[in-house]
Structure 1
Amino acid sequence: MILHTTINGEGEPLVLIHSGGMTGHTEYEEQSDYFAANNYKVIRPDLRGHGKSNGRIENYFSHCADDIHDTLDSLNLEECHIAGVSIGGIVALLFAKNYPEKVKSLSFSGIYPIEPDNWNELSREEAERYEQLFNNMEAVDYLSEIHGGNDWKSLLHSFCEDDFYPFHETGDVSMITIPTLCIVGEKENVEVSAAITYKQLNPAFHIAIIPFAGHLVHREQPELYSHTLEAFLKNQQIESEEN
């Protein structure tokens, strides 16, 4: 399925994938402006069920990875750099695993390779945050506006269902040879531990811990996130030219 996309700039294709409940247009705004001004073509798709992209939410992540592939094909893009956060980070990782020939570099933040010991508690807290959100009429009006005809409440509910998180995929990374960077905020101890685990599972992975940031590091420290991602991309370009 071809996803609705927001495109900014010209140059090296860089796909940025939003978190759950957001859209390509409403997420990564600072990074889109920054990279578009630095010779990148920034592509921000709406994942299925978000924004102006429809689609069933069963087997969500495998479908989303295929959607990214179909969308890039529709844009006549053979390769791209790809980065994602939270739900978008999972999609970016699965896309890189399923279509490695399409990916020049991979970056993700806010995802887990193995189920944390307090996963049930984290899931319960997430569900409680959604219920509070549903009772905030200003937020409900905003989300209904950006998601159009999509049933965004059912989508968010699905993110809290048992076995929704594909740990069998997010933890299976030893075979990845694509240059990869895991970015996390220092405030989220469980995510810092996850980044260290990723480094243990694949020693070729790079990790970056951003100070003064939590789960949505790209929002809380947009400049640090952009500069870190840019340094990673430039380093990969240098290594590619040397090889």
Structure 2
Amino acid sequence: MLLNYKQTGSGPAVVIIHGLFGSLENLNVIAKALSEHYTVINVDLRNHGASFHNAQVSYPAMAQDVIHLLDELNISKAHIVGHSMGGKVAMQVAMLDETRVDKLVVLDITPVDYHPRHNSIIKALQSVQEQSVNSRGEADLIMKEFIDEIGVRQFLLKSLSKFENGYAWKFNLNTIVENYSKIISNINETHSCQCDTLFIKGNNSDYILPEHREAIVSLFPNSKAKVIHGAGHWLHAEKPQAVNRSIIDFLQ
């Protein structure tokens, strides 16, 4: 099956991959800036957005979906940009077949195992799913019990849609929760990837730490780092101009 995607712009191809509980809409701010110079393919990963639901959740499977889409679009090689979980998918694409990757941009994630950090978010999402909600406002009130940050709630609510039977999450929540341990685990390491890679860190985020340097350098020896000051994990939403400039400067 083919991933849902939105294609804009013209020029060399760039694939943009969102993070956990997101959709292609979340990275529109990057897609819009890049589409002035590139053909941008902004995707919904499996079990997210308008893409298909599938019980198999792994980084090789999600990366293969991206490669399959490139095949269908007759794109032999592309720049790959991914945020958070999407950054791991991007890295996994390079591990599966680095001949398909021109340059790699990884936003605020590293090739390591992470401890669980979405417990309150998962509880909030499940609470909304278990109750019949008639509006995003109702869902927001439910989630407020578990999530203080309004920005996080607003991000999640973008994936709440109205269906025939009321409002429901577009992402495949049950399958994601069942496979959460795989999502926070590392990519499938096979070799050192020689492609030019840029890791962009939000200065206030703890997703990229000094102790991750060894893992990054061993798997992506041709990598460099950029720090976006005044931003956390959602760096593209908090400092879009700085992030977009960093990406474009690197790709060009």
Does the TM-score normalized on the shorter chain lie above 0.5? Answer: yes
TM-score range, shorter chain: 0.7 to 0.9
Deviation at 1:204, TM superposition (A): 2.2
DSSP 3-state at the match of 1:106: strand
The two structures have a TM-score, normalised by structure 2, of 0.78
**1:35 is matched with which residue?**
34
Q: Is residue 208 of structure 1 aligned with residue 226 of structure 2? A: yes
Moved more, 6-15 or 136-145: 136-145
Indicate whether 1:143 and 2:143 are aligned.
no
Alignment of 1:30-109 (within 5 A): 30-37=29-36, 39-109=37-107
Match of residue 131, structure 1, among 123, 126, 129: 123
**TM-score normalised by the chain length of structure 1:** 0.81
C-alpha contact (below 8 Å) 1:182/1:205 kept by paired residues? yes
Name the counterpart of 2:21.
Answer: 21
Contact 2:9 2:40 in 1 (8 A): yes
- Fraction of identical pairs, as percent: 22
Kindly provide the amino acid, as one letter, of the partner of residue 85 in structure 2.
I
Q: Tell me, which stretches of 5 or more residues in structure 1 are unaligned?
A: 235-243
Alignment map for 1:186-201 (pairs within 5 Å): 186-193=203-210, 196-201=213-218
- Residue 28 of structure 1: SS of its match in structure 2? helix
The 1:197–1:218 alpha-carbon spacing in structure 2 relative to 1, beyond 3 Å, is farther
Assess if the C-alpha contact under 8 Å between 2:53 and 2:172 holds in 1.
Answer: no
In structure 1, how many angstroms separate the alpha carbons of the residues matched to 2:29 and 2:83? 14
Indicate the residue corresponding to 2:194 in structure 1: 177
What residue number does 1:238 align with? none
Q: Distance in 2 between matches of 1:6 and 1:93?
A: 21
Alpha-carbon distance, 1:135 to partner: 4.0
Distance 1:18 1:164 in 2: 13
Q: How far did residue 60 of structure 1 move? A: 2.3
Secondary structure class of the residue paired with 1:27: helix
Post-superposition shift, 1:58? 2.1
Match for residue 236 of structure 2 among 211, 218, 225:
218
Per-residue CA deviation, residues 97-128 of structure 1 (Å, 9 max, x unaligned), is: 11111110111123233335xx2xxx1x4111
Which residue identity is paired with 2:35?
A
| Pairs aligned (count) | 223
Change (3 A) 1:91 1:5: same
Worse-matched range after superposition: 5-14 or 189-198: 189-198
Task: Specify which structure has the higher proportion of helix.
Answer: 1
CA contact (8 A) 1:6 1:43 kept: yes
Partner SS state of residue 26, structure 2 = coil
How far, CA to CA, are the matches of 2:233 and 2:190 in structure 1? 21
Deviation string 1:7-51 (CA, Å, 9 cap, x unpaired) is 111111111100111111x121111111112x2011111100111
AA paired with 1:176?
Answer: C
Per the alignment, residue 143 of structure 2 pairs with none
1:209 is paired with a residue of what secondary structure? strand
Partner of 1:9: 9
- One-letter code of the match for 1:145? S
Residue aligning to 1:167? 186
Cα deviation, 1:78-109, whole Å, max 9, x if unaligned, reads: 11000101110111000011111111011112
Contact 1:126 1:160 in 2 (8 A): no
d(CA) in 2 for partners of 1:141 and 1:209?
28
Residues 196, 210 of structure 1: alpha-carbon distance in 2 compared, 3 angstrom cutoff: farther
Quote the residue 1:239 is aligned against: none
